[in-house]
């Protein structure tokens, strides 16, 4: 879960003030000491933490907050707003695509996932009906060209390489000529990485920028590498010029030190984030939404956007009617777990739900049991599929025998169906009301 460790520490800090009707200056300073320790433990830059704590404390002890009806909630909102500022403030994922073809160069150290990220970007823009060309500019790593070619084929976009050419600027220039000829909208350059930022690498990147007129230089960094990644971003920006950062492995980052430090330290915004291994596990970086996730407020906007991408509008309306009328049956459940898998899986959805519903967040259905679930449901009669409460012992024994499973498996499925029904109802309710929240 994204920034899980930090979220838990902050939640524990807030418990001490949420039950209080009024807050004193000492109360605010005490909770901010815990917030400070939580941020430092998350590997956030020390100077960033110091400024953050000072800013929040000053605002939270102001008269308007202290005299409000709910000063604890106001203090948490201030923290949310300031976390949003640390994460970049405004969403910056709008890429300069004014030229045709627009040239986007990906750069970064070796091993951070540049080539895979190139494929993810290509798929994102293809969904937006852009014609994309991937260009292999990594002439040093033997497998890089082939890997990029395979990714281009998987995504369904154009590919360009000159395997025997050792001049990267020439490759980029000829690729640009090809892009113009073939009416390409976006050309993405996958450049080489190094273990360290050296003179040869910098010169190569500068030459490419001058030859093809790069619109966007996006630095790919590993979010798990902590302040090393922040230092790398600062160095690349000073020596080459970077217009945005892409964080990889954000889904595995329980701390958040890079995300919370990089914009303040470098001045470069985070534009995208990799949130899984699949090509679809890639999203625009929204500072306000991430801040709300950190504070347990959920991220209904991202969840709704994912749902709108994957769900047919007619099916979604029918599902909502079933949820509202409490007729969410096993046929619906089977259809929904397939859709949930496309949306990133049940755990990904759980962390975007507002609040701290332990029954939901602790539910960890095995997402690889789809075949077994289908076998169980297909062994039910039409009546049983639409009446889950009818599954008593004798029916369970017959279904278990017919599906090659156990009664325990069927009981587990019944429990998961109930939790899924509860989650879908909560999602439906939140979709209608989250905009009215003070944090919406």
Considering the domain 102-295 in this protein, what is its CATH number? 3.40.50.300
CA distance 202 to 239: 7
The two tokens of residue 371 are 């075949």
Q: What is the pLDDT of residue 388?
A: 87
Mean pLDDT for the chain? 84
Beta-strand relationship, 102-107 and 282-284: unpaired
- Predicted confidence (pLDDT) per residue in 275-312, tens digit: 888 898 898 999 998 898 888 776 556 665 666 665 56
In this prediction, the residues of the chain whose per-residue pLDDT falls under 50 are: 356-361, 363, 365, 367, 434-440
CA distance 395 to 208: 68
Instruction: Tell me the fold of 301-436.
Output: 434 Repressor (Amino-terminal Domain) (1.10.260)
| pTM summary value | 0.74
CA distance 95 to 374: 42
Q: What is the pLDDT of residue 182?
A: 96
* Phi-psi region at 269: left, alpha or beta (left = phi > 0; alpha = psi -120 to 50): beta
- Predicted confidence (pLDDT) per residue in 100-136, tens digit: 899 999 999 998 999 999 999 999 999 989 999 999 9
Burial of 90 (0-12, 13-18, 19+ CB in 10 A): exposed
- Predicted confidence (pLDDT) per residue in 8-36, tens digit: 899 888 888 887 778 888 989 999 999 99
Q: What is the pLDDT of residue 300?
A: 56
Considering the domain 4-86 in this protein, what is its CATH number? 1.20.120.140
What CA dihedral angle connects 418, 422, 423 and 428, to 10 degrees? 140
End-to-end Cα, the chain, rounded Å: 22
Helix (H) or strand (E) holding 263: helix 257-266
Instruction: Name the residue ranges covered by the structural domains of the chain.
Output: 4-86, 102-295, 301-436
Q: What is the pLDDT of residue 338?
A: 67
């Amino acid at each position: 879960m994204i920034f899980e460790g930090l979220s838990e520490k902050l939640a524990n800090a807030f418990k001490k003030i949420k039950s209080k009707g009024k807050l004193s200056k000492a109360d605010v300073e005490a909770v901010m000491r815990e917030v400070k320790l939580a941020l430092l433990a998350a590997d956030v830059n020390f100077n960033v933490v110091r400024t953050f704590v000072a800013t929040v404390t000053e605002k939270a002890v102001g008269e308007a907050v202290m005299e409000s009806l709910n000063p604890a909630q106001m203090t948490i909102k201030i923290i949310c707003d300031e976390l949003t500022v640390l994460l970049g403030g405004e969403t910056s994922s709008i890429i300069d695509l004014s030229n045709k073809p627009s040239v986007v160069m990906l750069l970064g150290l070796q091993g951070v996932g540049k080539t895979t990220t190139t494929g993810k970007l290509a798929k994102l823009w293809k969904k937006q009906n852009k014609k994309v060309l991937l260009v292999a500019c990594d002439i040093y790593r033997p497998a890089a060209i082939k890997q990029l070619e395979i990714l281009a084929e998987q995504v369904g976009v154009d590919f360009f390489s000159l395997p025997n050419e050792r001049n990267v600027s020439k490759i980029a220039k000829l690729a640009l000529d090809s892009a113009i000829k073939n009416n390409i909208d976006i050309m993405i350059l996958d450049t080489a990485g190094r273990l360290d930022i050296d003179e040869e690498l910098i010169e190569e990147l500068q030459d490419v920028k001058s030859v093809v007129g790069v619109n966007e230089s996006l630095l790919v960094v590993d979010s798990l590498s902590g302040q090393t990644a922040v230092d790398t971003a600062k160095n690349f920006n000073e020596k080459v010029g970077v217009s945005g950062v892409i964080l990889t492995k954000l889904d595995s980052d329980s701390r958040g030190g890079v995300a919370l430090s990089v914009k303040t330290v470098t001045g470069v915004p985070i534009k995208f984030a990799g949130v899984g291994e699949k090509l679809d596990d890639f999203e625009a970086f929204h500072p306000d939404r991430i801040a709300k996730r950190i504070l347990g407020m959920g991220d209904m906007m991202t969840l709704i956007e994912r749902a709108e991408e994957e769900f047919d509008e007619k099916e979604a309306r029918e599902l909502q009617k079933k949820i509202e009328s409490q007729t969410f049956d096993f046929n619906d459940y089977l259809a929904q777990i397939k859709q949930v898998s496309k949306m990133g899986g049940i755990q990904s959805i759980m962390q975007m739900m507002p609040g701290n519903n332990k029954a939901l967040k602790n539910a960890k259905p095995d997402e690889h049991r789809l075949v077994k679930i289908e076998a169980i449901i297909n062994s039910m009669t039409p009546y049983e599929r639409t009446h889950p409460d009818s599954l008593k012992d004798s029916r369970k024994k017959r279904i278990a025998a017919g599906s090659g499973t156990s009664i325990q498996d069927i009981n587990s499925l019944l429990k998961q169906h109930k939790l899924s029904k509860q989650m879908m109802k909560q999602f439906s309710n939140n979709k209608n009301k989250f905009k009215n929240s003070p944090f919406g």
